[in-house]
A and B are shown apart, each in its own frame.
Chain A
């Protein structure tokens, strides 16, 4: 498997280096630990079967609240739509490599637009019960060849508060399934080993509409817009973002190189295109759409989130593209950033200018080659073929259907 992939990577590299030799000045090839896979085409490498679930799991939720299409958790909805019309979809479940259940667990919104995760475990559970009773494929592997899209704050832990999420852990029924989630942090309960991290949804048309010519000189050194203190939920400070955002504010509010504030300017996207570094610190969860925006606008992301796992981490070499700053090093952020050699900065900008990099972070409608949907499929394809051990003998049960808080066991 590895020999084959390395060989194909070498061939791909030779082919692409020959064809894109003149692009080397502006952009650079992106090769992660999985090889040059951003431009891979997953069609032909895998087959996905989409379960026909009743619309109460998906369409009705969307009808109730169409805001689900525009918030940053909209990846689950767009993934469903993409798979329905994708060439990797198969209508014959017996030849499918992967099974997908279209559930929108994050589409339960408060009036202000924040998703509530309290009913999501029950919804998941009831969907899995439906799948396991109507189709035989769940029981064959207890979900090991199924994948679910759970883009909420802490993935399948289904809670917005980290302590509670850790306490709950990943939903027991999803322990064997592959989770496609935005949350990623090393050695964390809510990140399973085989999960695929994806970027949060950012509206591609909105970002395209705010592009400025690339020869506008980048004159802002560091840029950030957002909260530093969450006075509603963390009045004393120190909880929100583990104190990192507050440290950024306290240390650099007087520094003219740092254009940081809590404003909501209308020129937010344009300003990002005029900046060299864009801060992407953690908030209540380590991931944020700022990473996607920084990549699309060519601003080098400065990631301040300990142990974070970034989207498509095996395909995209984030260490070469972004700057990682430990939370304890935030007071020295200016020293760190100014001591980066200019060649390194220029190289990072060249990598960011690579259109396949930008495309991999977006969920365009309709889907385009190389976009995030395809990267998800690539990630799923890389996990094939399934290990023989995932197939259970008849009657063998691994999952504990009664595990979890009592409240989860209630029907939905």
Chain B
């Protein structure tokens, strides 16, 4: 009634006004009165702002108490929309209701902004930890079909050599990342050594370090045989300790994908996955040649594809019908025999790493063991166990995993250093190196060089190319260069691989220096 004009204008801004309730009798008088009042209010609002004028008007012309006793909150000084942390002057009249007073005030409030409205790094880290924990919980509850996940029992045959740290760390990190309980059985040829123990102690997963009395032989073939015996030794540990979970064979130079661990949870008794075979020869020239040859072959015969994959073969209805085996024909006669040969290292017909089994197969009591599994305790190792299929009576009962072998979930690789290569024990340089030569032509400012005591490198380390010696002066450089050029002929081709780029750079740098000198 009285307030309808102002309300009308307010409603105009919000919704289409539909309400109209004015008495006809006093309409003309009211209209004039309203017009005058409206102009007055416009003037006031020009000076002091719209809402303030409205509130002033309310106060001047207080309504009769026909309605509830409600007085709108009165703020003498309207704070600007953005205030700092100090809240607005709280001289508001509380919205009194008929029952009890509410803490919540209707009306204009200030917008609270703290002095530094930017993220706090400590809190961001806390939030990230929360997110990580929530995601872990999600994975535990919903991931992998929600079934309770089984432990992963990884069997790794290893022995102490130059590349052991490289390989073992890789496997270790994969196992540490797998979101399952892991039992890592490391069988070491030549007895359990402190070196290996110190590497696997950093893993944080439960490890069983088993020593194997034989030493690792020098040829790939014999090594394969010894590895089989070592794996069987580990399986015996599984049997004796009654470990429960999925047994997988993590050879120390292999690379596993995280999906591999997820997929093997699905195995019931005995499963097989596809393994990518990386038969790397270590010889760059040969690699290039073979690639060219392969390209030619592809052009001629597109049918023939040498897929380097070993694993189960399925028919159209996803039933196991056979095995994909690595095609060794292209490498016939050129494969490595000794461990440090620079030739392609070829896998066995069926590598152990492509198979996973339920650890209950190995247990003594035939609880619910299927009949097509041989009794592990009665296995005679001397009869030559080639592949894990000899653990079974019926190899056709193997479950193909990874969408029936279509997914390659891990890669097989064999890379070893020379048999006589040396490395600092534990990869700790102790005592410190004798020679440190200052580096020239580096982006950081020159460090005054140590007085050189000797010219030739006489380090306790051998030709492992561990230190790139950058010569100080030109004469030294030329001498070094010549000495470097001479050396690679003696060394194996692999080192030439590394020596070459440095040679070229030194050559280029020498020529530029030469130019400078001329100028």
Stretch at the interface among B26-34, B137-145, B294-302: B137-145
For chain B, the count of residues having a C-beta within 8 Å of the partner chain is 57
- 8 Å CB contacts to B: which residues of A283-340? 306-307, 327-328, 330-332, 334-335, 337-340
Stretch at the interface among B124-132, B419-427, B476-484: B124-132
Closest to A236 in B: B81
Asked if residues B130 and A221 are in contact (CB atoms below 8 Å), the reply is yes
Asked if residues B119 and A334 are in contact (CB atoms below 8 Å), the reply is yes
Is A261 part of the contact surface with B, judged by Cβ < 8 Å? Answer: no
With A251-B117, A256-B119, A276-B134 known as contacts, the answer to whether A306 contacts B104 (CB < 8 A) is: yes
In the complex, A320 Cα to B255 Cα: how many Å?
Answer: 46
- A409–chain B nearest beta-carbon distance, Å: 11
- A314–chain B nearest beta-carbon distance, Å: 20
In the complex, A257 Cα to B111 Cα: how many Å?
Answer: 21
In the complex, A94 Cα to B226 Cα: how many Å?
Answer: 92
Asked if residues A114 and B111 are in contact (CB atoms below 8 Å), the reply is no
For chain A, the count of residues having a C-beta within 8 Å of the partner chain is 65
Is A110 part of the contact surface with B, judged by Cβ < 8 Å? Answer: yes
Asked if residues B82 and A250 are in contact (CB atoms below 8 Å), the reply is yes
Q: List 23 contacting pairs A-B, 8 Å CB cutoff, sorted by A.
A: A110-B16, A163-B70, A166-B68, A185-B102, A186-B102, A187-B102, A187-B103, A188-B97, A189-B68, A215-B139, A215-B142, A218-B138, A221-B127, A236-B81, A238-B108, A252-B117, A254-B117, A257-B127, A276-B131, A307-B102, A332-B114, A346-B134, A346-B137
- 8 Å CB contacts to B: which residues of A202-259? 213-215, 217-219, 221, 232-233, 236-239, 242-244, 246-247, 250-257
Residues of B within 8 A of A219 (CB): 131, 135
Q: Interface of chain B, helix or strand or loop or mixed?
A: loop
- 8 Å CB contacts to A: which residues of B1-48? 1, 13-16, 18-19, 21
Residues of B within 8 A of A169 (CB): 68, 98
Residues of B within 8 A of A331 (CB): 85, 112-114, 117
| Beyond A118-B18, A187-B101, 4 additional pairs, beta carbon < 8 A | A160-B14, A236-B108, A238-B109, A340-B130
In the complex, A8 Cα to B494 Cα: how many Å?
Answer: 81
Binding site for B on A (CB under 8 A): 25-26, 110-111, 114, 116, 118, 160, 162-163, 166-167, 169, 185-189, 213-215, 217-219, 221, 232-233, 236-239, 242-244, 246-247, 250-257, 276, 306-307, 327-328, 330-332, 334-335, 337-340, 342, 345-346, 349, 405-407
- A105–chain B nearest beta-carbon distance, Å: 15
Is B485 part of the contact surface with A, judged by Cβ < 8 Å? Answer: no
With A189-B97, A238-B81 known as contacts, the answer to whether A214 contacts B106 (CB < 8 A) is: no
Contact of B14 among A232, A256, A339 (CB under 8 A): A232
Residues of B within 8 A of A253 (CB): 117
Closest to A404 in B: B67
Residues of A within 8 A of B126 (CB): 338-339
In the complex, A125 Cα to B309 Cα: how many Å?
Answer: 81
Closest to B14 in A: A233
- A160–chain B nearest beta-carbon distance, Å: 8
In the complex, A340 Cα to B107 Cα: how many Å?
Answer: 32
In the complex, A330 Cα to B114 Cα: how many Å?
Answer: 9
In the complex, A342 Cα to B136 Cα: how many Å?
Answer: 12
With A26-B141, A187-B101, A238-B111 known as contacts, the answer to whether A349 contacts B134 (CB < 8 A) is: yes
Is B95 part of the contact surface with A, judged by Cβ < 8 Å? Answer: yes
In the complex, A38 Cα to B97 Cα: how many Å?
Answer: 33
- B93–chain A nearest beta-carbon distance, Å: 12
With A250-B117, A257-B127 known as contacts, the answer to whether A118 contacts B111 (CB < 8 A) is: no
Contact of A306 among B97, B103, B118, B142 (CB under 8 A): B103
Asked if residues B118 and A255 are in contact (CB atoms below 8 Å), the reply is yes
Is B133 part of the contact surface with A, judged by Cβ < 8 Å? Answer: yes
Asked if residues A187 and B142 are in contact (CB atoms below 8 Å), the reply is no
Is B100 part of the contact surface with A, judged by Cβ < 8 Å? Answer: yes
Residues of B within 8 A of A346 (CB): 133-134, 137
Closest to A234 in B: B108
Residues of A within 8 A of B118 (CB): 254-255
Q: Which 7 A-B pairs have the closest CB atoms?
A: A215-B142, A331-B114, A187-B102, A243-B109, A338-B126, A217-B135, A237-B81
In the complex, A118 Cα to B1 Cα: how many Å?
Answer: 14
